[in-house]
Structure 1
């Protein structure tokens, strides 16, 4: 299933990977309550998750970090690297840790969500992943921004320090509405939350986000968040 088609209209098939059975049951109940989401399998270890994904071919994997046999980060790497698998991985963890977050993104995860998130945020993350979008929990967005800006500052020539522009020049390619959507994305809002804020449909928001990424030459929402903060779109 190609990224453009994954989760576009039909049921989004999900595998849950967590070493705590009660947590898997709770997460499964939340996701199964959505009419478009079907939980097709559960794994208690990273190794089980890798094998289960190969056999069930889900659209999305909700992956815990700390599990026996193989942790969720290594399992994510193997799932993403497997050419026979086309599943998007959303890391779902109790740990708001920079090292886990960055390693998860480097491993190929498209989302990073804390287990303290609201049920609707979990559902949104799964649907976003199925639609080919990246989504970070608002709590961890600042970590990505600060690390990216620090790395850029460290590699910039000392005579040319990184600074925010005094004018909105970088936003010139964007329409007023697209710039507004970019600002909301940079604040960590999901497509559903942006739609509610602007009183438009989710499909309209998705169109605007896609336009922003294309016009600014960005790969995903994570890059959009970093770009917006780097260029002074938000404080």
Structure 2
């Protein structure tokens, strides 16, 4: 079981990421931290294998957390960046510090799942290899450098709209704009606009669910072709 600590300053985003991780077999969320200091403490108390790490934290950034953990001489978990930081210097530094991957927000559940599954395969291979001969080392590097697959059905869409489509397509049941917004890392009105456009483009179907108030709630599903 791969133990994951989710680190994000936004409580709602951290919760959404934790729910996403918990859906995947072989992963266990051991905690959620909302600052660098809290994350450092939880690393010591929960001993995670992997950090799902945001760059922007209220006290110091995610890469500083990795540096502090390294300097402390204690456990330094593997880490996967999930961040809105797009500057090349952050990407280069993350690579230099050993980030398994760098996911730019907003991203879909499918994109996160792909990288977590890649990490799981990499970790299993690293743990079961009898020795670090050149063949094993080459295999481990190849597993880390494999580019993510892009679903062909979304190639004609603007990138964020394609991410919204992937979120809905990956959901186990009809999903609402609030849930989509949390996964996307955007506001509910923004998610609603993308969802409405995807309905108009006939990528999604609108499913009206009536709650306890009797008022319809808009839920969305991938259109069947």
TM-score, with structure 1 as normaliser: 0.50
SS at 2:60 equivalent: coil
Alignment of 1:63-142 (within 5 A): 63-132=53-122
Alpha-carbon distance in structure 2 between the residues aligned to 1:91 and 1:119? 15
Summarize the Cα distance change of 1:131–1:70 in structure 2 as closer, same or farther, 3 Å threshold: farther
Mind listing any 5+ residue stretches in structure 1 that lack a counterpart?
Answer: 1-10, 134-177, 194-235
For the 8 Å contact 2:40–2:69, the answer to whether it is kept is: yes
Further displaced range: 14-23 or 83-92:
83-92
Corresponding residue for residue 14 of structure 1: 4
d(CA) in 1 for partners of 2:31, 2:103: 20
Q: Distance in 1 between matches of 2:68 and 2:121?
A: 21
Q: Aligned pair 1:46/2:36, yes or no?
A: yes
Correspondences of 1:152-231 after superposition (within 5 Å) = 188-189=147-148
Larger radius of gyration: 2
Q: Which of residues 21, 24, 27 in structure 2 aligns to 1:34?
A: 24
CA spacing shift, 1:82–1:131, aligned 2, 3 Å: farther
Question: Contact conserved, 2:11 with 2:34, CA < 8 A, in 1?
Answer: yes
CA distance in structure 2 between the aligned counterparts of 1:130 and 1:80, rounded to whole angstroms: 23
8 Å CA contact retained: 2:81, 2:103: yes
User: CA contact under 8 A between 1:14 and 1:40: conserved in structure 2?
Assistant: yes
What's the secondary structure of 1:19's corresponding residue?
coil
Deviation at 1:79, TM superposition (A): 2.9
Q: Shift in Å at residue 107 of structure 1?
A: 2.5
**Offset at 1:124?**
2.7
Displacement after TM superposition at 1:69 (Å):
1.3
Alpha-carbon distance in structure 1 between the residues aligned to 2:3 and 2:16: 17
C-alpha distance in structure 1 between counterparts of 2:69 and 2:114, whole Å: 22
SS at match of 2:4: strand
Q: Distance in 2 between matches of 1:54 and 1:131?
A: 25
Structure 2 residue ranges without an equivalent (≥5)? 124-137, 152-225
Deviations 1:47-106 (A, max 9, x none): 211111111011100111111112111002223455431510111101222111112122
More strand by share: 2
Work out the CA distance in 1 between the residues paired with 2:100 and 2:73: 17
Does structure 2 retain, via aligned residues, the 8 Å contact 1:80–1:87? no
Residue 62 (str. 1) matches residue 52 (str. 2): yes
Root mean square deviation of aligned Cα:
2.8
- Counterpart residue number, 2:169: none
d(CA) in 2 for partners of 1:97 and 1:124? 23
User: Is residue 66–residue 76 contact of structure 2 (8 Å, CA) maintained in 1?
Assistant: no
